[in-house]
Amino acid sequence: MATSRRKAWIIGLTILVILALLGFAQSPLFTVQNIVLQGNKTVPKEDLLALAKVANGANIFQAPTGSISKNISLHPVVKSVSIKRQLPNTLIINVVERKPVAIIPVKNGFAKVDEQAVFLQRTDTWPQEPLPIISGIQLPATLNLGQPIDDPGLREGLKILLGLPAELYPQVGELYAGNQNKLALYTRDGLEIRLGLADKAAEKFAVMQSFLLDKNYKPYRVGYYVDLTTGKPVLGKR
């Protein structure tokens, strides 16, 4: 009997503790009062808060972080979202924005794309960022922000740009990707680098890096080309 009473007492106490905790969790102390946004650089805070749709007076434990993340991810420039609760009353929303890595000439302007070929922005003027151009690409007549561009040449071109050594990327002014078999880079100082296929890119980049850094070849820029289609550099004049 004593054992049964002890078990009943423990169970009763446990229930009381759980009820007390539940009541404490519902206290106004845990009403969301602050929303801290981190990581947004181009998207205004007001736009993200409008998408988040955090209800007034929401309990921090009941705030639907999954729905909030999904809502914010609807913004075309937002790549990913993570949320954490900071007790007693703060939600911290961390946003990772998509970053443009190249521009594509379009009628009366340029289209910015990220590393996943997602269309980020259309501009009527030359972009301020020193981004390389990917030429030879025909974009759809209608293109929505946040829409991935399904173009084989663009995919191959982005692979080339993203695979470049960090010190070479700023030197690239244009990449021609209209023909996947005849990919070509153009440096900002006028040298054409014929890559052919995107295969063996690492080896071709190593050769290209050596060539561009070799002082003996500094004069060979405007009007010249380096053919790396076979992996071995062949210098010629256009």
Q: How far apart are CA 173 and CA 186, in angstroms?
A: 6
Vertex 92 angle, CA 90 and 94, to 5°: 170
pLDDT of residue 216: 80
Q: Pick from 111, 186, 174: which is nearest to 142 by CA?
A: 111
Instruction: Say yes or no to pLDDT of 17 above 80.
Output: no
Name the least confident of 6-15, 27-36, 51-60, 137-146: 6-15
Instruction: Say yes or no to pLDDT of 26 above 60.
Output: no
List of residues 6+ apart from 20 with CB closer than 8 A:
none
Instruction: Say yes or no to pLDDT of 21 above 70.
Output: no
Instruction: Say yes or no to pLDDT of 22 above 50.
Output: no
pTM of the predicted structure, to 2 decimals = 0.75
Q: Which CATH superfamily is domain 30-97 in?
A: membrane protein fhac (3.10.20.310)
Q: How far is CA 52 from the centre of its chain?
A: 20
- The DSSP annotation for the chain comes to -HHHHHHHHHHHHHHHHHHHHHHHHTSGGGB--EEEEES-SSS-HHHHHHHH-PPTT-BTTT--HHHHHHHHTTSTTEEEEEEEEETTTEEEEEEEE----EEEEETTEEEEE-TT-BEEEEESS--SS-PPEEES----SS--TTPBP--HHHHHHHHHHHHS-TTTGGGEEEEE-SSTTSEEEEETTS-EEEEESSTTHHHHHHHHHHHHH-GGGTT--TTEEEE-TTSS-EEEE-
CA distances from 163 to 85, 116, 120, 200, 201 (A): 38, 13, 21, 11, 8
Domain range annotation of the chain: 30-97, 102-237
| Better-scored residue on pLDDT, 196 or 114 | 114
pLDDT of residue 124: 85
pLDDT of residue 114: 94
How high is the mean pLDDT of the chain? 83
pLDDT of residue 230: 82
Q: What top-level class would CATH report for the domain 102-237? A: alpha beta
Q: Pick from 46, 89, 84: which is nearest to 65 by CA?
A: 84
Note the pLDDT tens digit of each residue in 172-192.
999 999 888 888 999 988 889
pLDDT of residue 222: 83
Note the pLDDT tens digit of each residue in 61-108.
788 888 999 999 989 899 999 999 888 888 999 999 999 999 999 888
Instruction: Say yes or no to pLDDT of 15 above 60.
Output: no
What's the average model confidence in pLDDT over 141-166?
Answer: 87
Instruction: Say yes or no to pLDDT of 121 above 80.
Output: yes
Q: How far apart are CA 204 and CA 192, in angstroms?
A: 14
Instruction: Say yes or no to pLDDT of 118 above 70.
Output: yes
List of residues 6+ apart from 73 with CB closer than 8 A:
80, 81
pLDDT of residue 200: 78
| Better-scored residue on pLDDT, 133 or 61 | 133
Instruction: Say yes or no to pLDDT of 25 above 90.
Output: no
